[in-house]
Amino acid sequence: MHPWYTHYDPGVPKEAPRPWLLTDLLRENARRYPHKEALEFLGRSLSYRNLWQQVEAFAKGLQEAGLKPGDRVAIMLPNSPQFVIAFYGTLLAGGVAVNTNPMYTPRELGHQLRDSGAKVLVILDLLLPRYQEVKAEAPVEVLVRTGIQDYLPFPKNLLYPLMLKRKGQAPRSLEGTPWRAFLKPGNPQPVPLDLDDLALLQYTGGTTGVAKGAMLTHRNLSSNALQVRSWIPDFQEGEEVVLGAIPFFHVYGMTVAMNLALLGAAKLVLLPRPEIKPIVEAIEKHRVTLFPGVPTLYVAFNNFPGIEKRNLRSIRACISGSAPLPLEVADRFERLTGAKLVEGYGLTEASPVTHCNPLHGVRKLGSVGLPFPGVEAKVVDEEGQEVPIGEVGELVVKGPNIMKGYWNRPEETQKALQDGWLFTGDMAKMDEDGYFYIVDRKKDMIIAGGYNIYPREVEEVLYQHEAVQEAAVVGVPDPYRGETVAAFIVLKEAYRGKVTEKDIETFCRQNLAAYKVPRIIEFRDSLPKTSVGKILKRELTKEMAAKR
């Protein structure tokens, strides 16, 4: 028996829940809870029955436009009813969704459209100029355009386009079929779907080279959403209110916010951008119970002016992913809300969550927690042999949520998947209780003067300093040591101009071995981030390398 089973919260199963097609789960909730609120978007609500009708209308529109099972549909939208409808409608029609980041440049968009062979592109009207720049070399057969106003309540739906016009931001092109005209009311042609059919191409961030599409199946996506649900033993079907602030075009937001909410008949509160003021207001107004996020969101939440006076006690549980969660951030958040905030771990190729700390049991400092029900995990050496407890090696995982492989990249697939095990590229260790610790990415490890230094350890110490709001640690080239440690820090407002680089260095020397202490310390107003709020360390590394 795995040691981690002993530490599961009561009520959490040891086996993975039985997977279902996501479309079947949504259809069933529309039958059981027809009048319950499914989506809330900036003042407008859609019931489960109405949502399902629109999913069917989108699927029928795709079929009438010539979509065949297995054809790819690129979705370039922020969190909105259109995103939910386009995603579920694509699956219902037998298509494969391609999540497309609205922040992509024309170059990135062109690469993804060509690589995926997308036949359809559903795009926000404000983003049309980006597609027009690349459509000559990356054309799609069907272009569907929509605007935020399509789902705003009256009179916002009339005022929003006028506001854009006044600011000079109105769409410059009306190319493509308007959203409303594309929806075809009625029942689409039934498509027989298998759990192992491809459902989603989720492109990795490209941190290790060109972005590649992880092939996620219906089984992968539903298994992971159901695993997340099973991890919350007091999840109440039909009663939860889930905040959809983290982007759904990232598989973390798609699984732990969108899919979790809709399979559990929850109310999903949609925010088109993860901005902290609307987040705080939405939590208070809609009595949000589940708030999945990333560390930078919780940092911003903790430092929001007047946060102590807001009524935020409705929140019960929060799972943080995408980057390490400093203990100080979690502790303050829990004091403010009374909720449980725990760190999890995952990666795109795993749909994405594989590990999480128990919500009610022991949360270990620096640990990403225990493997999910149905997930196998071990730490291996360079030869693929399991290492003893407590030793560092590469984390490998296996389970129903692990991808089929990379789209059109058999060699990359062969490297990443061996006998069903996914080699994560993350350096980790496991303790005697089955808790896992991510020491760092294989590629992020700093080797300075022959010593291995893991940035996460240094960051944990920096976050313990009362003045530090955000921190990122990277290795930069050094002629003597090979590499040296650089720390980039955003100070809390109250400490700016009062705390010096020397103060930070002194603090680090008190808490770290001398060789781990940052030799370069820079204060910044902000740190570069991805659209999901993950700090872009490679940008900092590039910048420092260019300077030196």
Read off the CATH number of the domain in which 512 is found: 3.30.300.30
Of 166, 192, 218, the last residue of a domain is 192
Q: Looking at the domain assignment, is residue 155 inside a domain? A: yes
pLDDT level of residue 208 (50, 70, 90 thresholds): very low
Question: Which two structure tokens, joined as six digits, stand for 391?
Answer: 């030793």
SS (H, E, C) 224-280: HHHHHHHHCCCCCCCCCEEEECCCCCCHHHHHHHHHHHHHCCCEEEECCCCCHHHHH
Neighbours of 326 (CB within 10 A): 24
Query: What is the chain's mean pLDDT, rounded?
Result: 93
- Residue 233 backbone dihedrals phi, psi, to 5 degrees: -60, -25
d(CA 368, CA 395): 12
Mean pLDDT of the 189-211 span: 83
Q: Looking at the domain assignment, is residue 36 inside a domain? A: no
Q: Is 404 helix (H, G, I), strand (E, B) or coil?
A: coil
pLDDT level of residue 548 (50, 70, 90 thresholds): low
Question: Which two structure tokens, joined as six digits, stand for 245?
Answer: 């602030």
Number of DSSP helices (H) and strands (E) in the chain, helices first: 17, 26
Q: Summarize pLDDT for 117-152 with one digit per residue, the tens.
A: 999 999 999 999 999 999 999 999 999 999 999 999
d(CA 322, CA 476): 23
Instruction: Give yes or no for residue 205 having a pLDDT over 60.
Output: no
Q: Summarize pLDDT for 22-55 with one digit per residue, the tens.
A: 999 999 999 999 999 999 999 999 999 999 999 9
Domain that holds residue 166: 45-192
Instruction: Give yes or no for residue 393 having a pLDDT over 70.
Output: yes
Of 160, 192, 224, the last residue of a domain is 192
Q: Which residues contact 198 (CB under 8 A, 6 or more apart)?
A: 70, 96, 215, 216, 217, 404
Question: Which two structure tokens, joined as six digits, stand for 495?
Answer: 């400490």
Give the bridge partners for 520, in sequence order: 486
Q: Looking at the domain assignment, is residue 173 inside a domain? A: yes
Q: What is the pLDDT of residue 452?
A: 67
Q: Looking at the domain assignment, is residue 22 inside a domain? A: no
d(CA 220, CA 402): 6
Q: Looking at the domain assignment, is residue 418 inside a domain? A: no
d(CA 215, CA 319): 24
Mean pLDDT of the 536-546 span: 85
Instruction: Give yes or no for residue 480 having a pLDDT over 90.
Output: no
Q: What is the pLDDT of residue 445?
A: 72
| Number of domains the chain is built from | 2
Classify the phi-psi angles of 44: left when phi > 0, otherwise alpha if psi is within -120 to 50, otherwise beta.
Answer: beta
Q: Is 470 helix (H, G, I), strand (E, B) or coil?
A: strand
Instruction: Give yes or no for residue 93 having a pLDDT over 60.
Output: yes
d(CA 57, CA 186): 6
* Residues above pLDDT 90, as percent of the chain: 77
Q: Looking at the domain assignment, is residue 370 inside a domain? A: no
d(CA 380, CA 418): 13
Following DSSP, what letter does each residue of 342-400 receive, concatenated?
EEEEE-GGGSSEEEE--SSS---TT--BEEPTT-EEEEE-TTSPBPPTT--EEEEEEST
Weakest mean pLDDT among 203-217, 247-261, 264-278, 350-364: 203-217
Following DSSP, what letter does each residue of 495-526 receive, concatenated?
GTTTS-HHHHHHHHHHHS-GGGS-SEEEE-S-
Of 140, 159, 192, the last residue of a domain is 192
Q: Looking at the domain assignment, is residue 162 inside a domain? A: yes
d(CA 194, CA 407): 19
Instruction: Give yes or no for residue 316 having a pLDDT over 90.
Output: yes
Residue 209, burial from CB neighbour count under 10 angstroms (0-12, 13-18, 19+): exposed
- What is the residue type of 201? L
Weakest mean pLDDT among 168-182, 244-258, 299-313, 423-437: 168-182
pLDDT level of residue 294 (50, 70, 90 thresholds): confident
For the whole model, what pTM was predicted?
A: 0.85
Q: What is the pLDDT of residue 537?
A: 87
Q: Summarize pLDDT for 416-452 with one digit per residue, the tens.
A: 999 999 999 898 999 999 999 998 766 677 877 666 6
**Any idea what the CATH number is for the domain that residue 150 is in?**
3.40.50.980
Angle among Cα 244, 250, 256 to the nearest 5 degrees reads 45
Q: Looking at the domain assignment, is residue 461 inside a domain? A: yes
d(CA 200, CA 397): 20
Weakest mean pLDDT among 417-421, 461-465, 476-480, 491-495: 476-480
